[in-house]
Amino acid sequence: MEVRRLVKMANDIGAFFERGGDAGGVANHIRMFWDPRMRREILVHLDETGGDGLTPIVREALQQHGHELDPGS
Amino acid sequence: MQSITDRDLGTPRPKTTRTVTVEIDHRTVEVPEGSTVMHAAAANGIAVPKLCATDSLEPFGSCRLCLVEIEGRRGYPASCTTPVEAGMKVRTQSERLADLRRGVMELYISDHPLDCLTCPANGHCELQDMAGAVGLRDVRYGYEGVHHLDAETDASNPYFAFDPSKCIVCSRCVRACEETQGTFALTVDGRGFASTIAAGMNEPFMDSECVSCGACVQACPTSTLMEKSVYAHGQPDRTVTTTCAYCGVGCSFKAEVKGTQVVRMVPNKDGQANHGHSCVKGRFAYGYASHPDRITQPLVRASIDDPWKEVSWDDAIAHAASEFKRIRDRYGRNALGGITSSRCTNEEAYLVQKLVRAGFGNNNVDTCARVCHSPTGYGLKTTLGTSAGTQAFDSVEEADVVMIIGANPTDGHPVFASQMKRRLRAGARLIIVDPRVIDLVRTPHVQADHHLQLRPGTNVAVINGLAHVIVTEGLTDDAFANERCDPDEYAEWKAFVSHEKYSPRNVERMTGVRAETLRRAARLYAKGPNSAIYYGLGVTEHSQGSTMVIGMANLAMATGNIGREGVGVSPLRGQNNVQGSCDMGSFPHELSGYRHLSDGETRRLFQQDWGVEIDPEPGLRIPNMFDAALDGSFKGMYIQGEDFVQSDPNTQHIEAAMRAMECVIVQDLFLNETAKFAHVFFPGATFLEKDGTFTNAERRIQRVRKIMPPAAGMADWEVTQAFSNAMGYPMRYAHPSEIMDEIARLTPTFRGVSFETIDRLGSVQWPCNDAMPEGTPTMHVGGFVRGKGKFVVTEYVETDERSSRRFPLLLTTGRVLAQYNVGAQTRRTPNREWHDEDILEIHPHDAEQRGIADGGLVSLASRVGDTVLKARVTERIQPGVVYTTFHHPLCGTNVVTTENSDWATNCPEYKVTAVEVAPVTRLSEWQEQYRDFTRKQEDLLRERASVRT
Amino acid sequence: MPDPDTDATRSALALKLADATLETLRDPRGALLPILHAIQEEMGCIPESVIPAVAERLNLTRAEVYGVVTFYADFRTEPLGRSVVHVCLAESCQALGSAAVADAAKAHLGVDFEGTTADGAFTLRKVYCLGNCALSPSVMIGGDVHGRVSPGAVGELIEAGRAGP
Ligand code: SF4
Ligand code: SF4
Ligand code: SF4
Ligand code: FES
Ligand code: FES
């Protein structure tokens, strides 16, 4: 899937949880509402580019909660 | 003419449970206090003759036919205007009364043509009935002299005719237009014998202020105002009660039928959502059901460049199943998905999601609510615990302050608008939050107290600003909020909104709403005492749609405006069954009744019942499906009754995704825009052709009843069932009621729902279960569904879609009364006469700068695409903003809307697109291509070969 | 033919009168009748073309305003002729044959009651008692009351009352 769009979606989610600094909230939202292939692709994107284009809170969410998001795990 | 099976009690039933005892014609009867003598008599089977009274209107007392005798009173009081009193003794029949009534009737008849036998109302005319009832045999006045017999018929309205020669000037029509509809388009022209009924200033109906709701036609006791369909088909012989298939108001109708021909639709007086009223769409615009464009044979083709082939149902279903199985084998089960429709019944939506989850083995199911009210589901579930509005429509009758945010009820939800306007005329105050001057800002007899004319995309700043004023001025209901909600979260929210960032001055800078207006509106809302929020797509279709829904719920909780009648947070939901399709588990992350897939308990329940494993992972949402189609991981889609090529944003992107799929199945009435990209076409059935239920915006479940056999031989649920069986997942329902029984079995909020319950109660509002066996009109009474109400802070985040030098204007979208969404149905009816193309509204200032003339052709360009349409120069829209609708495919509004979407639900941001507008002389390139493509697809349809076996 | 320019000017004038009247009233509800009176007084009639503007100002529909204008006999939508011919139809005059006088007046002018002659010279109206019962039947032409009018004489009387344009 086009990574640009996934990054945008993730950042939009991040913006909502930004204020409370709630990276867990971001991860949970992605876990609850994203199809596994989308989660996998954004994790790959994080791995490959260090999270190019992602806002800090989203990067933090993916880094800290990556294992919960990885559909393979 | 009222419905042929209606009983008319003459005057409205009083709203009381207290009774008094009176004697009528020597019978002692107990009647509701405050009844009129006429109502009391009629309710006890004694019909007093009448002409100007009808129970949908306040008594008027002009015809003097309903005279009675009351012991101890002089003269002959009119029974329709005389209230009963305890102990009253009434006589409705005597020789003197008979004489008087005959005299009155004679006057009426002397100015009335005596061509009953050829009159369309013959047999159901109240004048005829009354002449019989009072025993009128001959008329002494003769027919020469002044009369109105040769007055000309006004046939300007496409649906009804006005033949003044039949008029008895009872003014029921005038009063219906005022009281029932609230449009005030009719009047009595002149006075005394010379008086006549006039629309507007004695204009043709079509040129007057009339909005063609038909209330006057229904109220007319004669054939003066009469549906043209009755002229054409004659009087009906039976009625079938069913539910409108257009909008989320969910008007109940009596379809009046002759054989299997619908003669007319009459709003059901006992309808609990509409109380006998309707709009032009529901009452009149059903002609699409028999439109020649309907496709009644299944079609298949190998590629979208091939002509269609007409095949039998068996072949079509076998072909579709083999294609889907091939895709599954080749690309894996996650390459398939399905879309449920908000236009179809609950039972049908349920079956499609069951097919996807059990038959395809994944959760790639979504529904058109994705693009409209998905944020409502998310926001209200998060804060209150239920993904639905909190009130019944009738609740508005208890509201003191109405706040409408991003909704245009007079166009989008006309029957509820009429009810709301009635309440506003009776004194409720009105706040409107909308970038545009919608009708309710100022329309005859209604004037908003405050109009917060914000810049598109700044809703959340406005709601935070309102909260700021309410909190900092100490207008909150702390006792309520602390008891009913989590006090820590409440305190945190208060601190958040109190921040200087959301002071009225700062909010003015962010939104364009004057600080003083914001303050006054906030105080008015907080003061109530009953303040109700109604909102629409102007809230949800934003990048912060869900945030805004949460913000409104916060405000209602903080001011104690939730959990009783007259208050609440109510979405005005678009489609007839958008609430229902969501309830049925149409979203990729949840099962029916809004239970997340990650809930093992619920999953096990379904697994047991369905006999399959259910994937615990959420599936793709509609926009994700398009993205996945483009990257090659999503190949087959079964689309029931949805047209996203026209309705969804960024048309070019969607078209590319459609072309990338290997098997697209579309089930619809017409070869819609999406079907032009399909490989299999299953002809759909209209709401007149099947049984089932719809759930309206107030969670009310109502019956849809079959009037005629499906034009293509199969109802939609039967097709899904056959498809599922061919896919190897067996389904064996004999009737939709069995599907509802399964839904009730598996869904706690539906446990008490069955066709039998609905038939018994007329309708039922979920939750309906052991605790609430007759349903739940008002939610969250005494406590929130989720336990403690949850305050969530709602930071305002500006949308990425900003005006720039290249695209200096903001486009926002909406709809009009006469057309319905993508217009597939309404465009195939005479409703076109009101609205035949989408028009771009632009402020005079912006128009002048660009040299744009009213009615001129303009291009509308955004960073994703451009289209061309006609301009209307109007001050309804603020400078810097332009507005249009999306009812017509060629106008291509969605060619310019972007893929921005709500952060939580991916509901597209239709309401904000940065654009530029310029005068042009011809259509855009996209439109030229679209025209060619459409022409080609129409040829492919016309050239269809029949290979039926 | 409605002339848009005149219609616009008329509407503007009507709105001015409406606003002036509204200023004198405490409650804008019930303002319609005083406004219509003011317009008729100033403009001689309530031209139909001003009704939409008045309706919009009061947040009413044009149907409602039109209904009120046509309901009250006092209001007229066409200007009066330069002279008004009033034929009395109250008891005393009726008893002494005013109906025949009215018929003669109608025949002479070629219009019915409330009609205005094509040249704008006369409007024919009925009236109920001119306070001249002793000399019934009575007719008033351009403000002059005439008594004991016979059907044969009414035409001449009318012509004598013709006012120049
Ligand atoms: S049109 Fe019908 S309802 Fe209206 S006044 Fe005439 S008879 Fe009555
Ligand atoms: S159709 Fe509706 S709006 Fe039109 S005149 Fe009748 S009641 Fe009024
Ligand atoms: S479209 Fe809506 S308001 Fe109109 S009749 Fe149907 S349900 Fe009622
Ligand atoms: S019905 Fe009572 S006066 Fe007409
Ligand atoms: S009755 Fe004619 S003047 Fe009095």
Indicate the helix (H) or strand (E) that contains B694.
strand B692-695
Residue C21 CA to residue C15 CA, distance in Å, equals 10
Asked whether residue B604 carries a pLDDT value surpassing 80, the answer given is yes
* Beta bridge mates, B436: B877
Position B467 scores a pLDDT of 95
- The residues, ordered by sequence, that sit 6+ positions from B593 with a Cβ below 8 Å of its Cβ are B583, B585, B747, B748, B749, B750
Residue A17 is part of which domain span?
3-69
- The residues, ordered by sequence, that sit 6+ positions from C73 with a Cβ below 8 Å of its Cβ are B191
Question: Is the omega angle on the peptide bond into residue B908 within 30 degrees of 0, that is, cis?
Answer: no
Ligand nearest to the CA of B1: 1
Q: For the segment C59-77, what is each residue's pLDDT rounded down to a tens digit?
A: 999 999 999 999 988 888 8
Handedness of CA A3, A9, A15, A16 (dihedral sign): negative
Q: Which atom of ligand 1 is nearest to the CA of B172?
A: 3
Asked whether residue B750 carries a pLDDT value surpassing 70, the answer given is yes
8-state DSSP, B230: H
- How many domains, in total, are found in chain C? 2
The tokens for B919 are: 């005068």
Burial of A4 (0-12, 13-18, 19+ CB in 10 A): exposed
Asked whether residue B78 carries a pLDDT value surpassing 80, the answer given is yes
The confidence band for B145, taking pLDDT boundaries of 50, 70 and 90, is very low
Ligand nearest to the CA of C145: 5
Q: Are B584 and B340 in contact (CB under 8 A)?
A: yes
Position B211 scores a pLDDT of 92
What is the nearest CA distance from C59 to chain B, expressed in angstroms? 5
The confidence band for C164, taking pLDDT boundaries of 50, 70 and 90, is low
Asked whether residue B140 carries a pLDDT value surpassing 70, the answer given is no
The confidence band for B512, taking pLDDT boundaries of 50, 70 and 90, is very high
The count of CB pairs under 8 A between chains B and C is 53
Position B835 scores a pLDDT of 72
Backbone conformation region of residue A18, classed left if phi is above 0, alpha if psi is from -120 to 50, else beta: alpha
Position B820 scores a pLDDT of 59
The count of CB pairs under 8 A between chains A and B is 64
Residue B532 CA to residue B534 CA, distance in Å, equals 7
The tokens for B597 are: 């897939």
Give backbone dihedrals phi and psi of B465, rounded to 5 degrees, phi first: -65, -45
Residue A6 CA to residue B884 CA, distance in Å, equals 30
The verdict on a CB contact (< 8 Å) between C55 and B444 is yes
- How many domains, in total, are found in chain A? 1
Lowest mean pLDDT among B34-38, B102-106, B711-715: B102-106
Position B694 scores a pLDDT of 94
Ligand 4 pocket by Cβ (under 6 Å):
B 50-53, 61-66, 78, 80
The tokens for B249 are: 């108001």
Q: What percent of chain B has pLDDT over 70?
A: 96
Same domain, C154 and C94: yes
Residue B254 CA to residue B271 CA, distance in Å, equals 9
Give the HSE-up count for residue B621: Cα atoms under 13 Å, Cβ half-sphere: 24
Give, to the nearest 10 degrees, the angle between helix B459-472 and helix B504-511. 170
What is the nearest CA distance from C71 to chain B, expressed in angstroms? 5
Lowest mean pLDDT among B202-211, B701-710, C19-28: C19-28
Instruction: Say which residue the tokens 């008893």 belong to.
Output: C95
Q: State the DSSP string of B234-267.
A: ----EEEEEE-SSBTT--EEEEEEETTEEEEEEE
Q: Which CATH class is domain B299-372+586-690+705-734?
A: alpha beta
Q: Which CATH class is domain B380-571?
A: alpha beta
The confidence band for C4, taking pLDDT boundaries of 50, 70 and 90, is low
Asked whether residue B461 carries a pLDDT value surpassing 60, the answer given is yes
Give backbone dihedrals phi and psi of B898, rounded to 5 degrees, phi first: -100, 175
Better-predicted residue by pLDDT, B354 or B876: B354
Q: Are B720 and B785 in contact (CB under 8 A)?
A: no
The verdict on a CB contact (< 8 Å) between B617 and A35 is yes
Indicate the helix (H) or strand (E) that contains B727.
helix B716-727
- Pairing state between β B700-704 and B839-842: unpaired
The confidence band for B44, taking pLDDT boundaries of 50, 70 and 90, is very high
The CATH fold assigned to B809-936 is Barwin-like endoglucanases (2.40.40)
Q: State the DSSP string of B615-647.
A: --S----HHHHHHHHHTTS--EEEEES--HHHH
- Domain B160-290: CATH architecture, name and number where available: 2-Layer Sandwich (3.30)
Residue B378 CA to residue B905 CA, distance in Å, equals 7
What does the pLDDT average to over B481-506?
Answer: 93
Instruction: Say which residue the tokens 């049908």 belong to.
Output: B348
Of A20, A29, A38, the CB nearest to B624: A38
Q: How many CB atoms lie within 10 A of CB B550?
A: 27
Q: What percent of chain C has pLDDT over 70?
A: 96
Position C62 scores a pLDDT of 93
Residue C45 is part of which domain span?
7-71
CATH number of B19-134: 3.10.20.740
The confidence band for A50, taking pLDDT boundaries of 50, 70 and 90, is confident
Asked whether residue B143 carries a pLDDT value surpassing 70, the answer given is no
Residues of chain A contacting B598 with CB distance shorter than 8 Å: 32
Domain CATH number, residue C96: 3.40.30.10
Output the average pLDDT for chain B.
89
The tokens for B551 are: 């913000």
Q: For the segment B316-338, what is each residue's pLDDT rounded down to a tens digit?
A: 999 999 999 999 999 999 999 99
The verdict on a CB contact (< 8 Å) between B191 and C62 is no
- Pairing state between β B913-919 and B809-814: antiparallel
Residues of chain B contacting C48 with CB distance shorter than 8 Å: 201
Same domain, C115 and C157: yes
What does the pLDDT average to over C113-140?
Answer: 88
Q: What percent of chain B has pLDDT over 90?
A: 55
Asked whether residue B576 carries a pLDDT value surpassing 80, the answer given is yes
The verdict on a CB contact (< 8 Å) between C67 and B208 is no
Residue C29 CA to residue B202 CA, distance in Å, equals 24
The verdict on a CB contact (< 8 Å) between B199 and C63 is yes
CA angle A55, A57, A60 (to 5 degrees): 110
Position B838 scores a pLDDT of 81
Position B818 scores a pLDDT of 60
Determine, yes or no, domain membership for C19.
yes
8-state DSSP, B852: P
Asked whether residue C1 carries a pLDDT value surpassing 50, the answer given is no
CA angle B852, B855, B860 (to 5 degrees): 55
8-state DSSP, B180: I
Lowest mean pLDDT among B366-375, B837-846, C2-11: C2-11
8-state DSSP, B178: I
Position B863 scores a pLDDT of 82
Residue C45 CA to residue C79 CA, distance in Å, equals 5
Instruction: Say which residue the tokens 């992605």 belong to.
Output: A30
Asked whether residue B366 carries a pLDDT value surpassing 60, the answer given is yes
Ligand 3 test: best mutation among B242, B243, B413, B579, most atoms within 8 Å of CB?
Answer: B413
What does the pLDDT average to over C6-22?
Answer: 85
The verdict on a CB contact (< 8 Å) between B334 and A33 is no
C and B interact (at least 3 Cβ pairs within 8 A): yes
- Per-domain residue ranges for chain B? 19-134, 160-290, 299-372+586-690+705-734, 380-571, 809-936
Residue B694 CA to residue B581 CA, distance in Å, equals 9
Better-predicted residue by pLDDT, B567 or A70: B567
Give, to the nearest 10 degrees, the angle between helix B459-472 and helix B487-498. 100
The confidence band for B949, taking pLDDT boundaries of 50, 70 and 90, is very low
Residue type, position C26, single letter: R
Residues of chain B contacting A40 with CB distance shorter than 8 Å: none
Residue B937 CA to residue B146 CA, distance in Å, equals 61
Q: For the segment B201-260, what is each residue's pLDDT rounded down to a tens digit?
A: 999 999 999 999 999 999 999 999 999 988 888 888 899 999 998 888 999 999 999 988
The confidence band for B148, taking pLDDT boundaries of 50, 70 and 90, is low
What does the pLDDT average to over B764-790?
Answer: 87
